A = this chain, B = another copy of it.
Amino acid sequence: MSTQRRVVIVGGGFGGLAAAKRLRPVPVQVTLLDRRNYHLFQPLLYQVATGVLSPANIASPLRGILRHQRNCQVLMNEVVDFDLVGRKVLVREGDPISYDWLIVAGGATHGYFGRDEWAQYAPGLKTIEDATEIRKRILFAFEAAEQELDPNRRRAWLTFVIVGGGPTGVEMAGALSDIAHYTLRHDFRNIRSSEARIVLVEASQYPLDMYGGDLPARSLDALYKLHVEVRTLTKVVDIQDHHVVLESAGQRATLETETVVWAAGVKASPLAAKLANACGLTTDRAGRIPVGSDLTIAGHAEVMVIGDMASCSNEGKPLPGLAPVAMQQGQYCAQRIEAHLAGRSTQQFQYRDRGSMAVIGRYRAVAQIGKRRFFGLLAWAMWLVIHILEITQFRNRLLVLVQWGWTFFTRDRAARLITGQTEPRVVSARSDGDSRSPGTP
């Protein structure tokens, strides 16, 4: 029917979607493959996990976004392998899909440094299901504590451990502090929610240590003010059903807890290993594929890898796993294809660092934009404005604004639902209704 070349894009995250959109004016047939039917705005996932937003506020159906782009087809399917010689992508359902160009943007998942058995006790925060699972665990911990008579067990239910002091860990810790000290403060009769301990474990000297200047030190101070126990220079050496083992300066200590959130390592999608295998490359420690300065893999000028799956350096510095990196890479891939069709050559990929930012509770954030650093209220306001603008749909912008306003003024987090399979973990005993306050058993 048409002799147009085919571009197959694997993954509808920031990178894949940017590539698909940038291909709109290009005379190619685009097929976007994703296991999910939506694009997820991951930077706000922690707000789903902490009851401010609903999943649909930060997820937009891919078909909806691309519905008027006639040269693009969306298929909900799972890529299982690559046939680089035959130029085909193998999918879980149906026949392989041929391509002339392939853009692989499969993203990343949590990495447990080889301790995959920790996953069941310490879920990470990458998908909507992760977020509702973490929300369930956090809220259920307070419910269980309310019904627990044994003071040690109650303390374990009220101890929340967050592993990793990067942006996600810090944002989770700040939100948990708000939940314990404000949102739930009138909700219980047997416990005081403010007794909750929020422990943030970070291996390096400061949380947010990827930021420069005094931002890490000021972040640490801000977290202390939010009653977060920050354990720096501390490593998690074991995670079990009812405790974690921390190591600091050679000393090990066991911390009893029922709720652990993993915000430490990420590793590239398992697709990266399959792709590496298909072309004889090896992945790096984070499971990523090395790509050249044009984002192609060695020996295959028609295969580009972008985002969290790619190990890519720019001016000698490795690029971080951030949405802007993936988006710029996606656009670059589309431009490269456009240039090729027009017989032009393309320059190498150049990342323009527009900065990065993280929130630390209400009113406070850190931001680094170029060489300039911001801390506090101004950074927080910048964060708000930029995130509202970046959300994909107008409807969702409006809904997020309403919910942020609501949560800001009332400190309520109304989306605090315990949904999904409810398999209550064992509570050793239950108060039968007397309004005993915690200090007076």
Task: Give A residues with C-beta under 8 Å from B.
Answer: 1-2, 6, 8, 29, 31, 35-38, 54-57, 59-61, 63-64, 67-68, 70, 73-78, 91-98, 128-129, 132, 139-140, 143, 146-147, 184, 186-190, 393, 395-396, 398-399, 402-403, 406, 410, 412, 414-420, 422, 424, 426-436
Contact = CB atoms under 8 A, between A and B. Distances in A.
A402 B414 CA distance: 16
Contacts of A77: 147, 424, 430
A146 to B, nearest CB: 7
Contacts of A129: 419-420
A33 to B, nearest CB: 10
A70 to B, nearest CB: 8
Nearest to A59: B417
Contacts of A424: 76-78, 92-93
Nearest to A30: B433
Contacts of A8: 433
A410 B91 CA distance: 34
B68 A143 contact: no
A6 B432 CA distance: 10
A146 B76 CA distance: 9
B1 A434 contact: yes
A421 to B, nearest CB: 8
B63 A188 contact: yes
A56 B432 contact: no
Contacts of A132: 419
A433 B31 contact: yes
B147 A75 contact: yes
Given A31-B432, A37-B139, A97-B433, 19 more contacts: A31-B433, A35-B422, A37-B416, A37-B418, A38-B418, A54-B54, A54-B415, A55-B419, A68-B186, A73-B189, A73-B433, A75-B430, A78-B424, A93-B426, A93-B430, A94-B428, A128-B419, A395-B410, A399-B403
A412 B56 CA distance: 13
Contacts of A436: 1
A185 B243 CA distance: 52
13 contacts: A2-B435, A6-B433, A36-B418, A63-B184, A63-B187, A64-B414, A67-B187, A73-B190, A73-B433, A77-B147, A97-B432, A395-B410, A398-B406
A76 B142 CA distance: 10
Contacts of A91: 430
Contact of A94 (B76, B403, B417, B429): B429
Contact of A402 (B188, B402, B434): B402
Given A56-B54, A395-B402, A399-B403, A75 B146 contact: yes
Given A36-B418, A417-B37, A94 B430 contact: yes
B396 A399 contact: no
A171 to B, nearest CB: 20
Contacts of A147: 75-77, 93-94
Contacts of A56: 54, 414-415, 417
A86 to B, nearest CB: 13
Nearest to A392: B414
A183 to B, nearest CB: 9
A358 B422 CA distance: 32
B396 A427 contact: no
Contacts of A146: 75
A48 to B, nearest CB: 10
Contacts of A434: 1-2, 29
A432 to B, nearest CB: 5
A432 B415 CA distance: 40
Which 5 A-B pairs rank lowest in CB-CB distance, beginning with the nearest?
A: A94-B430, A54-B54, A56-B415, A63-B187, A67-B186
B396 A143 contact: no
Nearest to A396: B414
Contacts of A64: 187, 412, 414, 416
A427 B93 CA distance: 6
